[in-house]
């Protein structure tokens, strides 16, 4: 599969690994990246030889979330309104697409996973997290909330009080803290 911002690897036994591959920028998710994520999910869905999908990141980050430098590019907005980066008619939301995949999805979180990067991890079946990982929703720091259903997803997974702490406080937690509250399935050596 030909991807621009990501690498596609597959094994003979049907394991596909998609690696976010803009390590110098902490693997941000762009509008084009959303299309690539959806294309990768669709390819795994449609091909019976693929049995497992793994997402990970190159370098020191899983994904630092939305590419805020490009918020204005490719968005539809009214004069005076903030752009709605992830509410684009031409790019369906990847989260329901990922959650409806009837094959196991693993987020191999190798480092920073925040914002939209954490949303992708939360939509995965398992979050295997490096001991160096840091996770959270910093959107509150810029007056936003998680854009792809992260608020309701994290409430279902962690409970209302802990979820509010994370997404309203903009708190970033360590791998061990993430595991203690149920944000990570397992913590492993880097």
Per-residue pLDDT in tens (0 to 9) along the chain, 190 residues: 889 889 999 999 999 999 999 999 999 988 788 889 999 999 999 999 999 999 999 999 999 988 766 655 544 445 555 455 544 434 457 888 999 999 999 999 999 999 889 999 999 999 999 999 999 988 888 777 776 777 778 888 888 888 888 888 888 999 999 999 999 999 999 9
Q: Quickly tell me which residue has 């920028």 as its tokens.
A: 25
Alpha carbon distance 115, 136 (integer Å):
7
The CA-based dihedral angle spanning residues 6, 7, 8, 11, taken in that order and rounded to the nearest 10 degrees? -150
Q: Put the strands of the sheet holding 172-174 in their side by side order.
A: 61-63, 112-114, 134-136, 172-174
User: Considering 78, 139, 171, 176, which one is annotated as catalytic?
Assistant: 139
- Which residue(s) pair with 1 in the sheet? none
User: Considering 10, 119, 171, 176, which one is annotated as catalytic?
Assistant: 119
Is position 139 annotated as part of the catalytic site?
Answer: yes
Residue 35's pLDDT is 87
Enter the tokens of residue 181. 């509250």
Is position 119 annotated as part of the catalytic site?
Answer: yes
Alpha carbon distance 138, 32 (integer Å):
22
- The closest alpha carbon to 157, from 128, 134, 179, belongs to 179
């Amino acid at each position: 599969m030909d991807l621009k911002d990501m690498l596609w690897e597959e094994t003979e036994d049907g394991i596909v690994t998609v690696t976010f591959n803009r390590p110098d920028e902490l693997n941000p998710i762009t509008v084009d990246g959303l299309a690539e994520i959806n294309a990768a999910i669709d390819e795994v869905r449609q091909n019976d030889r693929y049995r497992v999908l793994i997402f990970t990141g190159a370098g020191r980050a899983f994904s630092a979330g939305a590419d805020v430098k490009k918020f204005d590019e490719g968005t539809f907005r009214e004069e005076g309104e903030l752009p709605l980066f992830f509410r684009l008619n031409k790019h369906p939301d990847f989260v329901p697409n990922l959650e409806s995949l009837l094959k196991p999805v693993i987020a191999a979180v190798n480092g920073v996973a925040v914002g939209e990067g954490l949303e992708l991890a939360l939509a995965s079946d398992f979050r295997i997290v490096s001991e160096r990982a840091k996770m959270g929703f910093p959107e509150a720091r810029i007056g936003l909330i998680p854009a792809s259903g992260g608020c309701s997803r994290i409430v279902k997974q962690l409970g209302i009080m802990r979820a509010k702490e994370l997404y309203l406080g903009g708190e970033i937690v360590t791998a061990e803290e993430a595991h203690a509250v149920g944000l990570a399935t397992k913590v492993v050596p880097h």
